[in-house]
Amino acid sequence: MEKKRLLNMSDSMLDKTVKIANTKFDRRRKLSDKQINGLCRGYSSGKTVSNLAKEYGVSDSVVKYHVDENYKTYKNSLRKNYKNSSISNRDDRVAYKRRLVRAGAKVVINEWWSIGLINVITVIWKIVVKIDYLSKNS
């Protein structure tokens, strides 16, 4: 799907069309508690951040976040506090998706929403018209 068309979509439609869950753009938690404990044990036993990152399939910064308290404090200080903000998680998610599309990222498109929705609406409309026709002629 072309970039221009995606960027012209409403927030609601863009949110349904562009998929980030379980892709490389997914910003959700990457490691389980068990894996985090394994990272910490590995780091304490002398493994490097790079080796642990390769072993667990995450970035160096994810490993650093979990094994270095100073780094974790620094990263947390950069995060936005949404508790007393009017910005919702949905707005943030849609803005993130728009930034990805604008940057030309190869995002995953949910075809049902991008193309199929028009077909679904057309089918529903035909059913409604047919029911209306049948009710008038019976």
Q: Which residue type is seen at 22?
A: N
Q: Kindly report, residue by residue over 45-90, the tens digit of the pLDDT.
A: 999 999 999 999 888 999 999 999 999 999 888 876 655 544 457 7
User: What distance in Å separates the CA atoms of residue 57 and residue 94, rounded to the nearest whole number?
Assistant: 27
The pLDDT score that the predictor gives to residue 45 is: 96
47, 20, 44: which is closest to 106 by C-alpha?
20
- Does residue 25 fall inside a structural domain? yes
Sign of torsion over alpha carbons 95, 100, 104, 109? negative
39, 84, 44, 32: which is closest to 61 by C-alpha?
39
31 CA to centre of own chain: 16
- Does residue 116 fall inside a structural domain? no
- Does residue 135 fall inside a structural domain? no
- Does residue 133 fall inside a structural domain? no
- Does residue 42 fall inside a structural domain? yes
Q: Which residues contact 96 (CB under 8 A, 6 or more apart)?
A: 20, 25, 27
**pLDDT above 70 coverage of the chain, percent:** 78
The pLDDT score that the predictor gives to residue 26 is: 67
Q: Are 15 and 113 in contact (CB under 8 A)?
A: no
Write out the residue range of the structural domain in which residue 23 sits: 3-110
The pLDDT score that the predictor gives to residue 86 is: 45
- Does residue 40 fall inside a structural domain? yes
- Does residue 26 fall inside a structural domain? yes
Q: Where are the alpha helices (DSSP H) in the chain?
A: 3-7, 11-17, 33-44, 49-56, 60-67, 69-78, 89-102, 111, 117-136
Q: How many domains does the chain have?
A: 1
